[in-house]
């Protein structure tokens, strides 16, 4: 007769050395994320306003979508902009959520799931850097700048703090690059947030919210005519690529840490215990 031994929850796995170093050097994490954010805004501003290539690239994107029969931006945009409740809600979501939810999830991981934090942070950083490359090499005018679309944020700008220039605060419209449409980091960051929350919680309602958040953000960026469907797909792609690179970095770090630990012959361990 085989006696079953009951499984006992022993808590989270012990923190590896890399996670302990990350937690003890929180200020370096803050500096890294601030640097990435400054690069994000800096690259957005470096692309010259009125760049003719951005409109050519926009028409290329629309051409690809029409060939694939996924060019549904205009229908969604008109439906959202026609209803003030939807227009205002999605305008606030576009202007606010990626600046609020993403840092909150990062801090939550750092405090509550430190063994997941380093890889998650690296994924986010790499994905953002890939986004900056996309902004630089493929400047793309958003749908709201093309005929037949409604600039939802501009239409409802009196309801919020933003101006008619993207989601920039009033008076600061000239400080933002309006051609940073490809890829959509709004969607990429939302997908990262949903992924990290869903895999690190057992609360069913929170998992449902985590899955719904990136889906809602796709509707937001398309409904406000700030991104194309292809932009949203590209936003998901940079997260997937970032996760792959982060996994390789973590495995390399683990091998390096293992190599740094001295190995002792069994007899030496036995002598130390006697």
pLDDT in tens, 107-142: 999 989 998 998 999 999 999 999 989 988 899 999
Q: pTM for the whole thing? A: 0.80
pLDDT of residue 273 exceeding 50, the answer is no
127: Cβ–Cβ under 8 A, 6 or more apart, which residues? 185, 188, 189, 192, 238, 239, 241, 242
268 pLDDT band (50/70/90 cuts)? very low
pLDDT value at residue 177:
66
| pLDDT score of 38 | 73
pLDDT tops 70 at residue 233 = yes
Number of H helices, E strands in the chain: 11, 0
Residue 191 is predicted with a pLDDT of 97
**How much is the mean pLDDT over the chain?**
81
Specify whether the CB–CB gap between 143 and 226 falls below 8 A.
Answer: yes
- 38-42, 133-137, 225-229, 259-263 — which is least confidently predicted? 259-263
d(CA 240, CA 237): 5
Instruction: Specify the higher pLDDT residue, 52 or 56.
Output: 56
Give residue 225's pLDDT band: very low, low, confident or very high (50, 70, 90).
very high
Using CA atoms, how far apart are residues 149 and 144, in angstroms rounded to an integer?
5
3-state SS class at 194: helix
Q: What is the pLDDT of residues 140-199, one digit of tens each?
A: 999 999 999 999 998 998 887 766 666 555 555 555 667 888 999 999 999 999 999 999
Give me the pLDDT at residue 176, please: 64
Q: For the ranges 37-51, 119-133, 166-180, 258-272, which has the lowest average pLDDT? A: 258-272
């Amino acid at each position: 007769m085989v006696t079953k031994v009951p499984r006992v929850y022993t808590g989270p796995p012990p923190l590896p050395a890399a996670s302990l170093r990350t937690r003890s050097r929180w200020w370096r994490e803050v500096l890294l994320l601030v640097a990435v954010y400054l690069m994000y805004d800096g690259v957005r501003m470096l692309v010259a306003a009125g760049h003719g290539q951005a409109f050519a690239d926009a028409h290329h994107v629309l051409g690809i979508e029409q060939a694939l029969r996924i060019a549904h931006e205009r229908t969604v945009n008109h439906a959202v902009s026609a209803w003030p409740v939807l227009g205002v809600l999605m305008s606030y979501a576009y202007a606010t959520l990626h600046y609020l939810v993403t840092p909150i999830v990062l801090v939550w991981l750092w405090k509550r799931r430190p063994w997941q934090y380093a890889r998650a942070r690296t994924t986010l950083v790499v994905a953002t850097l890939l986004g900056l490359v996309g902004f630089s090499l493929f400047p793309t005018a958003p749908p709201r700048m093309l005929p037949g679309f409604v600039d939802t944020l501009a239409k409802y700008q009196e309801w919020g703090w933003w101006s008619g220039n993207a989601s920039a605060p009033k008076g600061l419209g000239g400080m933002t690059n309006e051609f940073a449409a490809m890829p959509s980091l709004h969607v990429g960051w939302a997908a990262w947030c949903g992924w990290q929350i869903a895999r690190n919680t057992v609360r069913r309602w929170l998992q449902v919210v985590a899955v719904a958040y990136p889906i809602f953000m796709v509707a937001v960026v398309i409904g406000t005519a700030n991104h194309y469907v292809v932009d949203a797909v590209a936003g998901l792609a940079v997260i997937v690529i970032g996760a792959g690179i982060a996994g390789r970095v973590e495995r390399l770090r683990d091998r390096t840490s293992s190599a740094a630990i001295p190995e002792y012959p069994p007899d030496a361990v036995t002598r130390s215990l006697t």
